[in-house]
Amino acid sequence: MDERKLLPLLILFLAGWQEAVAVVPMRHVAVDVGKDLKLACADESALSHFEESSVMWIREGREDEQISRLKVEPNGVLELLNVSVDDAGNYSCTLDGELAARINVEVRTPPPALHNVWVKPSTILANILWEVAGTGGYPIIDFTAEYRLKPVAGEEPEDWKPITPTHIPPNSRQIDVYHLVPNTTYSFRVWATNQLGKGEVVEVEGHTHYSVEELELARHLLAGVENFDTRVWVAAVGIVMGTLMILGLGTCYLLYRECKAPSGGAGGD
């Protein structure tokens, strides 16, 4: 066919397709990852007038790996087996070349990895911060964070320690870690959880700081310890103990006199 005649036909076809897309509304369907999904091209009453060969499904950006998991049933229903994240997208169905259905498929998963996870360390504590890029299709139930000393090459790493609270509220975007050792490298990890389970774990490192103020305070408190004369301390303790002993004896003497003193008042008829 002459190219000059083919071009107008192509333009008319594209115009008709765009008009059909504008008329047919997009339906939205959500499915959990790993489940099977069936997509109907039209009502059974409408499909009964068409042969199986007249039903055609088109998916935007279909991957070759998806073909083995696609199945078109005799009634024109498209079945997706063991749905994966790659199956998400827009699907279109045509009957005898006319657009009959447009379906957007959302695949729900455990939460994806948190974004911009970083650690703001201090001397004996650290602050872990993160951002949420997505929920996986279900609301986030909670976050979980753990820490441990950075593993040393050639040595067995220690077990991860939970950070309290173990179930961090879903509206939180940071958590504090206490009782760390100054000038020490730690590994931290954090993840989100929804009803489908634990999301992707993100691990970061942080190095606690030296505390110059604490070192200066300790140096100040210990200044002069080497020249301190313990005899002065012993003498002071002796004076205090002697004073307490004298006060105790005086109190006992006064109580003794009080008990021996005759009771007042006249007696007899």
| H/E segment holding residue 14 | helix 3-23
Q: Which two tokens stand for residue 267?
A: 């007696």
Beta bridge partners of 70: 80
Domains delineated in the chain: 22-108 (2.60.40.10), 114-210 (2.60.40.10), 214-223+235-259 (no CATH)
Q: List the Cα angle 138/143/147 in 5-degree steps.
A: 150
Which pLDDT band holds residue 57 (cuts at 50, 70, 90)? confident
pLDDT digits 0-9 by tens, 210-233:
876 656 666 666 666 556 667 777
pLDDT digits 0-9 by tens, 78-124:
999 999 998 999 998 888 778 888 999 999 999 999 999 999 999 99
Q: Which two tokens stand for residue 240?
A: 């205090």
Contacts of 38 (CB under 8 A, 6+ apart): 73, 77, 78, 79, 80
Residues 98/54, Cβ–Cβ less than 8 Å:
no
How many CA within 13 A on the CB side of residue 214? 8
CA distance 98 to 188: 56
Q: List the Cα angle 34/36/37 in 5-degree steps.
A: 125
Which pLDDT band holds residue 13 (cuts at 50, 70, 90)? very low
Strands 26-32 and 98-108: parallel
Strands 202-207 and 174-177: unpaired
pLDDT at 106: 96
Place of tokens 């006319």: 98
More confident residue, 20 or 32: 32
Residues 119/126, Cβ–Cβ less than 8 Å:
yes
What DSSP character marks residue 43? -
pLDDT digits 0-9 by tens, 160-209:
999 999 999 999 999 999 999 999 999 999 999 999 999 999 999 999 99
Residues 18/11, Cβ–Cβ less than 8 Å:
no
